[in-house]
Amino acid sequence: MEIEFDQVIIAVGQTVEPGLASYLEKEFGRRDLIEVDEGTMRVKGRPGLYAGGDIVRGAGTVVQAVADGRRAARAIDAQIKAR
């Protein structure tokens, strides 16, 4: 299966890089973490945008990030099936 995306942000590190912080402030009104619905990982106020891992909770474990990805995948699958 191939899915087209407008943008993918890869974030690795212990602190928010200044360029990313500026982008986050411009796009989300915050310079640090993105707010999501914990059940679906959908970014609050941004339909169709999902986030997980460190950008949502701060420094965490791989297990937490994978769990976020699984929650997002279930929500995306449900959204696609509802169409």
Q: What is the pLDDT of residues 33-78, one digit of tens each?
A: 889 999 999 999 888 899 998 889 888 888 999 999 999 999 999 9
Stated length of the chain: 83
pLDDT at 78 (0 to 100) = 93
Domain boundaries, the chain: 18-82
pLDDT at 61 (0 to 100) = 84
d(CA 75, CA 1): 17
Q: What global pTM score does this model have?
A: 0.72
Q: Please write the tens of the pLDDT for every residue from 8-40.
A: 877 666 666 788 888 888 888 888 888 999 999
The encoded tokens of residue 35 equal 């707010």
d(CA 64, CA 58): 11
pLDDT at 14 (0 to 100) = 65
The encoded tokens of residue 14 equal 């212990």
d(CA 71, CA 55): 15
